[in-house]
Structure 1
Amino acid sequence: MEDLLPSPARVYVAGHRGLVGSAVVRRLAADGHEILARSRSELDLRDATATAAFLRDARPDAVVLAAAKVGGIMANSACPVEFIEDNLRIQLSVISAAHAAGVQRLLFLGSSCIYPRITPQPIREDALLTGPLEPTNQPYALAKIAGIVQVQAYRRQHGASYICAMPCNLYGPGDNFDPESSHVLPALIRRFHEAERDGLDEVVLWGSGSPRREFLHVDDLADACVTLLRLYDGDAPVNVGCGEDLTIRELADLVGEVVGYQGRVTFDTTKPDGTPRKVLDISRMTALGWEPRIALRDGIAATYASWSSTEPSRSVAGV
């Protein structure tokens, strides 16, 4: 296959301090690419004028759009306006500015929450827009769907070599462990860590424990991102996952085992579950020669070891 990414390339990674962006930076730097980055205080990506000026001056060969407002069920429920408006503004700003600056390659990172709440499993990319979304994260999902359509529009109208990747649930070093806005896996790690530390007999988790989820280490995603930048130039989004799922109850047992928690685990069924099942069909991604390498237990153990060295003192109210 033709390599679509110059070597070395100048790559602007939007969101370089986040979970995904920092992993992409590590992976690109390991390959000898030059990384361009700006902190939020230096460049507010919601500001279209400032973003356009930066990209016009920087002239990168490629852009990885990993910047986004993200969070779990609690954060999505509390701040739906910010989840749709901030993400729409970031996407419109960066993608349009990249085109105006003549950027040759762009990778937009979405999320598996773009797919209908109820859909055949594993989820194929053509399931997009075939049914209602999960209500608990609809504003975020709609923003990400708009980003896909924007990328496709630039491809069709201007011939832009812009592409989209849709990862499953991610975790790894640099994850968000904040009790109010974290996703399920870091939230579980923190809950069990603090329960073990404080000698609690019971941990109560949100929902029924029955929903099934798929988890991918962020370093595996970063490998996939580089593979896509080098080898993929299609109109359709590409799923990125491990192709296997487990229940939240099974995940809780695994996290408890890694942390060493010996108490009871119960579930508060008055709290929302979210989508019943979500596992991705990753055949389009594996056809490019990529496959995940980090086993879930190993990834959780490494993530826990990295985070627990700081041992935050504040307890978590709920998952």
Structure 2
Amino acid sequence: MTSSALPGMDPSWATSAREATVSTMRAVKWLLLIVALLVVTVAAVAFGLIEHRKSTTTAQQDALAAFYQPPSPIPRELGTVVRMEPLGVTVPGGTGFRMLYVSQRPDGEPAVSGGMLFIPSTPAPPEGRPVVAWAHGTLGMGDACTPSRSTNPLQDTDNWLGEMMDLGWVVVSTDYVGMGTPGPNLYLVAQAEARDVVNSVRAARNVPEAHAGKRFIAWGHSQGGHSSLWTGHLARTLAPELELIAVAAAAPAAELNRIIGAQWKTPVGWVIGPEVEQSWPVVYPQLQLEGVITARGLANSERLANECIVVAGIEGLARTDLGQDYFVADPVTNAAWAAAGR
């Protein structure tokens, strides 16, 4: 029976209901279309910004490449400043420079490291300025991740650098050998990091306008905390002419086996694991990779190690959510890996 056959019922109500329904569905369709267009537009803009940033970063790195090429032969005097140029950023109370200096690998061979030098504008005391040797944390091994090659070179130092300049202290910051310069980068290898820190102080002292004295402080965060602690342990042996007066370590990667043992199955495994895989076997050739690192992990190690930490971290989160592990099992249960992490 149709609605028009119902006694006492106005047949127009059905027509009105149908029209209202059609109108609502049409509005919903338009709303969905607008939302879809907005999503596509936002995605296109985001993709464009990402591509523009990549293009800008590539152009910047290409322009800097020649600066970071080591001379042949590399000078053997540690702390030799190979070249230096203005950093091109505003430093409150001082001036910043990009530099390339001579450091040393654990096997005793000279190598170059990039870095930054910040010189206060205030007059230097007769005995020379104290030096703060800053060691940066885990950032990724790629050239664009390197502090002195970054589009934001003050990202780790801008909240305290001005205070150091006001105090009249020189600040020198190592990139570490192999980061932004020909590799390998020996990530979390104590002997390598400590050498890079003390040789950065020597480099600062070799810049006449810095008026850097022999007294220095080692300060670092995360990986750099590991570096500064080992600098404290080795400075007297590595650089007896310098006077280390203090060590500061913020959230240091101090007990590597405990950190790896606690984090190997988390996204952190995908972040620090590739950098360790690319570094440690160079110094510890006895390390076994098969059976410790998954096939998927090995296939992606070099690429992920050279991504900057945010990108690597996002991929690590995604892979962990998908049930993908970087390590087969806790690497600390392997005797050779445990020995390397001590």
Fold shared, TM-score > 0.5 on shorter chain: no
**TM-score, length-scaled by structure 1:** 0.28
- Computing the radius of gyration from Cα coordinates, the structure with the larger value is 2
> Larger % of helix: which?
2
**TM-score, length-scaled by structure 2:** 0.26
